Structure 1
Amino acid sequence: MNKSAIRAFGIALFLVGALLALAVRFDFNIGLPTKASKNAEHVEELQKKLEQANKEIALLKEQVKQAPKENTQKTDAPKTTIKDKHESPSQGNLATMTLQIYSGMEPYTVAKKLEDGGVIENSIEMELLLANPKYARSLQIGAYEVNSSMSLEDIAKLITGKKQ
């Protein structure tokens, strides 16, 4: 091949590259596969899962509506002690739980578990405390015995391994 043919081929490659760069820059659809087209394939599958989840939610709501009716019919049954376990410490009862922290667990999840266990009253406060630079990214994997008499700071120090 002579120099002019090689030079023409190089210029053609440069122009094609420049056109592709411009097409990407200005979001022109020139028939190249994109991430969006891959996601479009899964839309129908996700919509089916959403419909199924909505049906399950509706079923659970119906069960919740029926549950109070069943409880009022059984007046002779003794009350369960589950509620007593999770009462706030101001009422004299101490809520205790084992908090299990796994790899990759987010501060939101930890705070929500503590609130659900009755150890803390407001998960948002705990989540904000764990987001503090002092504790951020320091959650330690393991099982921790926590109770409602502990302050948020004490719990944060325990589950992050910070010194007391």
Structure 2
Amino acid sequence: MKKTAIRFLGIGLFLAGTIIQLEHRLSNEDISSAGDAQAYKQSQQELSEVKKQLAQLQLNLNNAQKEQPKQNETEVSKQEVSSPTVNTFSLAIKSGMTSSDISLVLEEAGVIQNKMDFENYIVDQGLSSRIQIGTYEVDSKMTIKQITELITN
């Protein structure tokens, strides 16, 4: 009887130790997983904010490039004689066209200066899925934001 009692006591202690060890490991994994998930969520939010800031900076740069610095009276009068041409284009968006397809067409037509600026703005603003099929009149005076608003509304 003493032998069996000692065996059962040993088995009981072994099982209790195993259960305690499993409990300890599972609680540590839950804590680290929650910390990892929170850090990941925070980094995603920061990344999203940085992308929005970058898109805004790209728009500001594009607008600044389109605006010409103020010049003295004689340069202004020369400019009035030879004013820059405005490229007007009829943009036809068909089913299956992506934002990169549209940006390439606009760049080739001379409506935008850099297709990557346009494409990055659409993607960063989350508007690539809102592009509407149709034909739109666009010109080189329009900003990237104005063109995007036109084709996504």
TM interval, shorter chain, is 0.3 to 0.5
Task: Select the structure with the greater relative contact order (CA < 8 A; seq sep ≥ 6).
Answer: 2
TM-score, structure 1 as length reference:
0.42
* TM-score, length of structure 2 as denominator length: 0.45
